[in-house]
Structure 1
Amino acid sequence: MSKLDFLLEELDTFHRRSAAIAYENDCLVHFNDIMQLPSGEQVRVTDMLNDGDAVCKLAQRYADGKDVEKNIGYALQLWQHAAEFGNSNAQYALGIQYNQGEHFEKNLVLAFTFFELAAKQKHPAALYSAGLCLENGTGVLEDMVKAVAFFQESADLEYAQAVFKIAELFETGKIIESNPKKAFSLYKIAADVHHIAQAKFKVAYMYEHGIGVAQQFKEAVVYYDRCYLPESYFRLGLMHKKGLGTMENLQTARGNFECAVQVGHVEAMHELELLSTPAEYEIESEHADVFWCMFHDIDRYDGESIWEDVILKKWEKFKDAGQYYSELKNRKCVYKPWPPTTWFELDAFFHAARANESLISLLHPANPRFQRTNFTLDRYISLFEHVGFDIHWPAQFHPFHCEVIEVEQTEGNDVEIVETLWPEIMLGNMMFSRAGVRVRAPRHLLTKGIADRHCLYWCYARDLRTSSCHESDSDSIAFRRDFDLGDRYAYNVDGGSKFEITDLTNPFEADFVDSDMSVEERISLLRYRCAVNVEYPNFESFWPYEDYFEELK
């Protein structure tokens, strides 16, 4: 394609509103290139190049990779070109680049220079950024008076962060005279109009303590509930605990404290311990104990009528436990696309999982008790439906949904389910127990004798497999939460008992962790919960319990 054709295609593509930019050897078309075009095209292309807004929009497309291949180098050249013509958006973009030093050599003086150029043209974000530079003495001498002027001008242009900043200055009395009423008024604008979470928290706190506004506990509860910040969950927990602005509700208070604890709020952890009285913990334990007792009863039972003698005797208790698991199933997500949980609740899941493994064992043909008891697949399903879990039968093989029980080696490139011995059990979108399947698979995907016999992690015991490693350490086999998030699967979201999560989705973090396994092997181990192609002789040295991974569907 000739240079002229490329230019004309760009002009058509961007409807004569984007910059007519062509690239030859990764460079912009220069003036000499334009002069070689026919005179009519020279005028048209020159006009387009002089359209700073169009050039800046095209730069942003390359920076974001929107409808074009992402190329930050092109974006920077285009921003520089537009900035030379005085485009404030381009000047602000270059200020950000020089301030961050990600693609240019970091130069705080140049960053402020570009912010100030854009600020002179009333660019709201540039006014705010220039104000920050002046406040902190970044790239320019500190000048608090001029900084406030920039912040105020940006706020007058309704720039959200500037509105919050001016409110903060009025609250603290830093630089300008303290004025709690003005601070509250501006915080409320930042909260209600611009939806800044920290501003919502400030409004709630001022309502709670009567700062700059009449004390109104009810309004404080409303705004705390909208923040979704660790401290707001803690404050909301206290208000539910004390019955301030809302009815006293220890269960709701506890739920809020738990949300704060999930992100390491120390005071919330203390409050949670105070609420975990022996009576409340006994309720938690009761739901865990019904499964824990069943696990031990099945293990000790030597008769044939296990359904009547063990399971039906606990039927009413299972029904009560169902209400508990229903609350966990319907719990709202907070910071992440899966709901928060406590160690008490993970412990309850762990006990239920151990009981489930005993029941699965009774359905496994390799177990000597398979033919001796009257426990059937239908009864297995009816038990978990009675407790409120969801039963699914996977139509296609996927390691999120399926546990490999036996492999029949075949040719091809697909794994085919031959028989499903038991279904998968889910609680909402959380995987509780994978379906047990016999499959046909090629050796390069699943190797017979490995995929169906290797140690199964996050499992206490399974017939025909090596016992789960580290089984003497309860933390290592604690319940693992996997979620079907609709567009992706999330594996081991709690990342082990130490909260030292290794996100295998992040190549840097994955490579940083010392391990004898490659990232690909660790991801495979996380997805299948066992080796599938390579028999690891030292499998007990592997520690996958702190790995976390998200897989797009």
Structure 2
Amino acid sequence: MDLDWAYFRRLYEDLLDHDGEPHRFLAGRRRAAAAHLAALAPLRKRERIPPGGYTGDDEQLWRIMKLYALSRVGDYLIEAGATRTRFFTEIGLTPFEHAEAFSPFHHEISAVVQDPDATHVTVEEVLWPGFWFGDLLFSRAGVRVRAPRHLIDAAVATTSTLYFAFRRDPRPTDDLSHGWGSNSQWRTSFHRFYADGDGLHLNWDGVIDIGEDPPHRPANRPAEEAPLDERRELLLHRCFVRTALPRDEHDRFPYDDRLSLTTAEWPMNPDAIVRMPRPA
């Protein structure tokens, strides 16, 4: 199949035009969507990224941008309260709940039961399933958690800016498409979080390994003054969950950071950090 990198963009835009009837609209597009997703199979496994990253001549970059457009469909269906499971399962994604233990890699906190008697974070309810595309985390499962305030602050975790997400009304969100024009925004890359035999890899395309202390900053990247513990919290949860919100919490840039872990616990265990060198 021809890559047709704009297919999922058209699917998203057409879905908005059929607001209120997502199931009926998507039912007739499952076969085509499955074929287009199958064409993105090279993204199912984490690869060694070339020095300097991908350029516009690399087909892998176009696959990554095409998958970003499908993630917009997922964001819309969460926000609309629509059941996504059947559509995404039938086109080739694998649903999961990971309900046995809270993991910020696998779970997006949507609601919090504040419990001063709790000693750790537990999953109270899975509100929507997450999905895998091979080893690639397409989307996290949405959960309600029970937690003490010193680990998860309900107000912070549910109202702070959610990064790596285009939309999640009513909370503010941020991804790299925001602020760009109607065409340029679709050249946004899908942020790749992988789980494989080497560990959990957060934002694999990031150029700054924040597992290092201090992180090594490439010469072409501006200095990051945010404390390392805040950067790790933000990348792990994709939002702040307990930090007293800094004034610039809505204006952070976690997209250059990456982190590899053996397990995703909260609080994060420094011993879980895995060093994954990348080409210079």
TM-score normalised per structure 1: 0.41
Q: CA deviation at 1:524?
A: 0.7
SS in 2 for 1:479: coil
The 5-angstrom pairing of residues 461-500 of structure 1 reads 461-468=167-174, 471-473=178-180, 474=185, 478-486=189-197, 488-495=199-206
The residue number in structure 1 matching 2:229 is 520
**Residue type of the partner of 1:391?**
P
The residue number in structure 2 matching 1:537 is 247
Q: CA deviation at 1:449?
A: 1.1
Q: CA deviation at 1:300?
A: 2.5
- Indicate if the aligned counterparts of 1:349 and 1:479 stay in contact, CA closer than 8 A: yes
User: CA 1:531 to 1:477, structure 2 compared with 1: closer, same or farther past 3 Å?
Assistant: farther
The residue number in structure 1 matching 2:274 is none
Q: State yes or no: 1:397 paired with 2:102.
A: yes
Comparing 465-474 with 347-356, greater Cα deviation is found at: 465-474
- Indicate if the aligned counterparts of 1:417 and 1:440 stay in contact, CA closer than 8 A: yes
SS in 2 for 1:451: helix
Q: State yes or no: 1:307 paired with 2:1.
A: no
Q: CA deviation at 1:453?
A: 1.2
Structure 1 vs Structure 2 CA RMSD: 2.6
| Residues 147-185 of structure 1: CA deviation (Å, up to 9, x unaligned) | xxxxxxxxxxxxxxxxxxxxxxxxxxxxxxxxxxxxxxx
CA distance in 1, matches of 2:235, 2:37: 29
Comparing 542-551 with 290-299, greater Cα deviation is found at: 290-299
- Indicate if the aligned counterparts of 2:46 and 2:194 stay in contact, CA closer than 8 A: no
Q: State yes or no: 1:381 paired with 2:81.
A: no
**Residue type of the partner of 1:399?**
P
CA distance in 2, matches of 1:478, 1:488: 22
Q: CA deviation at 1:511?
A: 8.0
The residue number in structure 1 matching 2:112 is 407
**Residue type of the partner of 1:386?**
E
Q: 1:297 aligns with which of 14, 23, 29?
A: 14
User: CA 1:290 to 1:478, structure 2 compared with 1: closer, same or farther past 3 Å?
Assistant: same
TM-score normalised per structure 2: 0.79
User: CA 1:415 to 1:552, structure 2 compared with 1: closer, same or farther past 3 Å?
Assistant: same
Hey, which of these two has a bigger chunk of strand by percent? 2
Q: CA deviation at 1:551?
A: 1.6
Q: CA deviation at 1:485?
A: 2.5
Q: State yes or no: 1:417 paired with 2:132.
A: no
Q: CA deviation at 1:405?
A: 0.3
Q: 2:158 aligns with which of 448, 452, 461?
A: 452
SS in 2 for 1:398: coil
The residue number in structure 2 matching 1:344 is 62
CA distance in 2, matches of 1:517, 1:476: 28
| Residues 241-262 of structure 1: CA deviation (Å, up to 9, x unaligned) | xxxxxxxxxxxxxxxxxxxxxx
CA distance in 1, matches of 2:169, 2:68: 19
- Indicate if the aligned counterparts of 1:525 and 1:531 stay in contact, CA closer than 8 A: yes
**Residue type of the partner of 2:111?**
E
The residue number in structure 2 matching 1:180 is none
Bigger RCO (CA 8 Å, 6+ sep): 2
Q: CA deviation at 1:472?
A: 1.2
Q: State yes or no: 1:356 paired with 2:74.
A: yes
Hey, which of these two has a bigger chunk of helix by percent? 1
CA distance in 2, matches of 1:392, 1:455: 25
User: CA 1:541 to 1:323, structure 2 compared with 1: closer, same or farther past 3 Å?
Assistant: closer
CA distance in 2, matches of 1:297, 1:482: 28
- Indicate if the aligned counterparts of 2:65 and 2:186 stay in contact, CA closer than 8 A: no
CA distance in 2, matches of 1:334, 1:518: 29
- Indicate if the aligned counterparts of 2:235 and 2:257 stay in contact, CA closer than 8 A: yes
**Residue type of the partner of 1:307?**
H
- Indicate if the aligned counterparts of 1:502 and 1:546 stay in contact, CA closer than 8 A: yes
CA distance in 1, matches of 2:228, 2:217: 7
- Indicate if the aligned counterparts of 1:454 and 1:466 stay in contact, CA closer than 8 A: yes
Q: State yes or no: 1:325 paired with 2:40.
A: yes
**Residue type of the partner of 2:121?**
V
CA distance in 1, matches of 2:46, 2:160: 37
Q: CA deviation at 1:327?
A: 4.8
Q: CA deviation at 1:360?
A: 1.3
User: CA 1:345 to 1:302, structure 2 compared with 1: closer, same or farther past 3 Å?
Assistant: closer
Long gaps (5+) in structure 1: 1-279, 364-374, 496-500
User: CA 1:510 to 1:409, structure 2 compared with 1: closer, same or farther past 3 Å?
Assistant: farther
Q: CA deviation at 1:433?
A: 0.2
- Indicate if the aligned counterparts of 1:483 and 1:490 stay in contact, CA closer than 8 A: yes
Long gaps (5+) in structure 2: 264-280
| Residues 399-458 of structure 1: CA deviation (Å, up to 9, x unaligned) | 100000011111222111111111110111111100000111111111111111111111
- Indicate if the aligned counterparts of 2:208 and 2:217 stay in contact, CA closer than 8 A: no
- Indicate if the aligned counterparts of 2:9 and 2:186 stay in contact, CA closer than 8 A: no
- Indicate if the aligned counterparts of 1:457 and 1:477 stay in contact, CA closer than 8 A: no
